[in-house]
Amino acid sequence: MSDPAPQHPFPDAFRPGEAPAPHPLLEPVLGLLGSWRGRGRGGYPTLEEEFSYAQEVTFSHDGRPFLHYAARAWLIDADGAPLRPSARESGWWRLQPEGRVEALITQPTGVAEIAVGRADGGTVDLATHEVALAPTAKQVDASRRHYTLTDGDTLTFVHQLAAVGQPLQHHLSAELRRDGRK
Ligand code: HEM
């Protein structure tokens, strides 16, 4: 009898050189593959104070023309000590010809975003196409996400947000370093 619970025979790859070979449409985002870790600062006019956070971000693929994306953040104090878990999200970045990206991203706060944009090897720009909100989610209208690979091992991220009655403006910026372990 065959094994009723075999290991998944098609594991994700976290590096361009790893099997399976990346789909050709992934070429403009190959530099993002792997895990990233770093710190950022955030704020919003509705919040009393700015905050500092740390974050882990991972991009992987299984040979098809999309990335699996996952990000987890936690708040930190001025010395970098962890305070509490914060935002997390995961989703799929569907790559189209000419580096066009369609990203589907969901958050445990009840927000599901579809963002569209472009990747060109060194930068990725995504802007809201549609937002769907669970009945008890806060009002989120739009976001813009900008990623820049400043070198092969450094990824900067800027996030703008239109939410809770406020126009699109800065919510987060972070600098992440490649996590050599994955
Ligand atoms: C690294 C990722 C993120 C971090 C560290 C972060 C952090 C925070 C913090 C600390 C707050 C204040 C409330 C609280 O203490 O929980 C907050 C509020 C909020 N964030 Fe974020 N956030 C992140 C990503 C996002 C994203 C991707 C969205 C997009 C939907 C978002 C939308 C909001 C909204 C709508 C509020 C509520 C503002 C209000 O009610 O005044 N955040 N965020």
Q: What percent of the chain has pLDDT over 70?
A: 98
Domain ranges for the chain: 24-178
Cβ(138) – ligand 1 distance below 6 Å:
yes
User: pLDDT, tens digit, for every residue of 18-30?
Assistant: 999 999 999 999 9
Specify the amino acid at residue 55: Q
CA–centroid distance, residue 86 to ligand 1 (Å) = 8
171 annotated as a binding-site residue: yes
pLDDT of residue 152: 87
pLDDT of residue 182: 56
46 annotated as a binding-site residue: yes
Of 123, 177, 160, 140, nearest to 43 (Cα)? 160
CA–centroid distance, residue 43 to ligand 1 (Å) = 8
Cβ(73) – ligand 1 distance below 6 Å:
yes
- For a mutational test of ligand 1's pocket, the pick from 46, 47, 144, i.e. the residue with the most ligand atoms closer than 8 A to its C-beta, is 47
Half-sphere exposure (CA, 13 Å, Cβ side) for 128?
18
Report the alpha-carbon distance of residue 37 to residue 177 in Å, rounded. 5
138 annotated as a binding-site residue: yes
pTM of the model: 0.96
User: pLDDT, tens digit, for every residue of 165-178?
Assistant: 999 999 999 999 99
Domain 24-178 classified CATH 3.40.720.10?
Answer: no
CA–centroid distance, residue 171 to ligand 1 (Å) = 7
Instruction: Look over the chain and give the mean of its residue pLDDT values, rounded to a whole number.
Output: 96
| 155 Cβ contact list (under 8 Å, min separation 6) | 32, 36, 38, 57, 147, 148, 149, 175, 176, 177, 178
